[in-house]
Structure 1
Amino acid sequence: MTPGMESAFAAIRGDYGTDCLLRVERMLEPGGGGPRHPLQKAAKWILPGLSATPWHDPRGYPELTPLVEALESAHPAVKEELTAAWAGRREAFSGYEHYLMRQEDWQALYLYRRGALVEESAGPAPTAYRVLKEFAVDTGKICPLLESHFSTLLPGAVIAPHSDLWNFSINLHLAVDIPDGCSLTVAGQTRSWQEGKCLLFDYSFEHAARNAGERPRTCLLVDLWHPETTIPERRALVALITEIRRLMGDG
């Protein structure tokens, strides 16, 4: 650990007690904090003690239920605004930049990125921007290390099987516009989105998606803290990943 990380961890222990970061410390040990599920092996960090469950009930956590209900209630307006933006403000979308790849047939309109709301997105997507701000950003549910965006897969697009970097955040999808022939596979189990409803899954497990339909498929994705993480752990993880990114020259 760098002196900066050690100082940040010491301050957190001072606020919350000497044992508050034991799981984070175990994660950083050789071997990554213990055994992991075979379909999580490609993830870089696994915080021990979190449920090794690929699919989660979107209403299974009281912390997240208000956001889920607000997004689903707002779906008609969100879809109408998204449709208008796709037709008339295509410049607001760009090829999605995943840490493993960039895909031009995977388009994104970012609402939250690099630890802050993307104010420009309030124009083309005012309802989604408002709900995200009120129920995820202002409440601290969003993981500031990651993002929220409209994810649009063009017809024929395939996202190859992969695992994301860690398990301490979790991915919420609001199904905005879903043609027939679209699917999401997580840890070998394939589901389809139900328009207007949310899905919640742990993307440290291997997952893949495809649009075999005849028009674009769009979901609103929100990267949230895993509800089983604690406040001191979240603080420590932000300090840790921010410092690692700085050392790697990645902001």
Structure 2
Amino acid sequence: MTPEIDDAFEAVEKEYGVGSIDRVRQMLDPARQDRHPQQKNAKWILPGLSKKPWHDPYEHPETAAVVRAFEAGHADIKRELADAWSLNRPSFTDYEHYLSTQSDWQALYLFRDGAPVLESAQVVPTAYRILDEYALRTATHCPLLESHFSTLLPGASVKPHCDLWNFSINLHLAVDIPEDCGIRVGDETREWVEGKCLLFDYSFEHEAWNRGTGTRTCLLVDLWHPETTLAERAALTALITEIRVLLGDSQ
């Protein structure tokens, strides 16, 4: 670790108590990592979190509030998204995943590079407002990642992969779902139900596809894993931010 990380960890423990970030320290020791086989390609595994690929969207009060707000706003979100797709296509860009960039996977960002994308407040106001009120202001959103509309064009697929870590989980609000679309996380394949949310741990191997004839759009929101503590969130934010600075990397 660097002196900056040591100082950050010391500050967290001064605020939250000695031992409050032991799991974060254990995460940094490869010999002590305990991971599910389907998490083998994830970079960071915080120990002690439930090893399950799918989460009940309504199980944890913290994440349930975000889920219910997005589901309640679905009709307006879908209408504004359709207007953006037809009238503000430059707002969408090729999605830049840390593994690849795909032109058949389009994204409209609401939060990126550690900050809200202010321009999106005019393009998709309902989604932006709900994200701000229920995820950003409550610190339920993981600031190390992003939030965006994810549009798979007909025939597009996302290859099987593990994302970087398990201490945040991914919310999918099904905005516009044609037939013949699906997502697999771990060993279980599910279909999106328009207007409803899925919640899953993307450190598990997962893939998605659109084999239909229309565009498939979900709103993706990265939330802190509900089993992480405030102390761990503070330490993890400092840790990953410093690592990115050192690597000159946005991931």
Relative to the length of structure 2, the TM-score reads 0.98
Tell me whether 1:219 sits opposite 2:213 in the alignment: no
Output aligned runs, 1:168-207, within 5 Å.
168-207=167-206
1:93-112 map, 5 Å? 93-112=92-111
Counterpart CA distance in 2 for 1:99 and 1:110 is: 15
Instruction: Please name the residue that 1:34 is paired with.
Output: 33
Alignment of 1:23-172 (within 5 A): 23-31=23-31, 33-172=32-171
Which string of whole-angstrom CA distances, capped at 9 and with x for unpartnered residues, describes residues 129-184 of structure 1?
Answer: 00000000000000000000000000000100000000000000000000000000
Deviation, structure 1 residue 123 = 1.2
Secondary structure at the aligned position of 1:91 is classed as helix
Q: Quick check: 1:240 aligned with 2:236? A: no
Post-superposition CA distance 1:20-58 (Å, at most 9, x none): 011001000133x33211100000110000000000000
Cα distance in 2 between the residues matched to 1:89 and 1:133 = 22
Separation of aligned partners in 1, 2:23 and 2:163: 20
Aligned to 2:16: 16
Task: Output the amino acid matched with 2:220.
Answer: L
**CA RMSD across the alignment:** 0.7
Distance of 1:70 and 1:98 partners within structure 2: 27
Question: Could you tell me which amino acid in structure 2 is paired with residue 209 of structure 1?
Answer: A
Runs of 4+ in 1 over 6 A off after TM superposition: none
DSSP-derived class of the 1:218 partner: strand
Percent of residue pairs identical: 62
Aligned equivalents of 2:189, 2:51: Cα separation in 1? 17
Listed as ranges, the gaps of 5+ residues in structure 2 are none
**Aligned AA (2:29):** E
SS at match of 1:52: coil
- Letter of the 1:39 partner, please give it: Q
Look up the SS of the partner of 1:25 in the other structure: helix
* Whole-angstrom distance in 1 between the partners of 2:114 and 2:37: 31
SS of the equivalent of 1:242 reads helix
Q: TM-score, normalised by structure 1?
A: 0.98
Deviates more, 1:198-207 or 1:59-68: 59-68
Look up the equivalent residue of 1:88 and give its one-letter code: L
Unaligned runs of 5+ in 1: none
Cα deviation, residue 115, structure 1: 1.4
Letter in 1 for 2:93: S
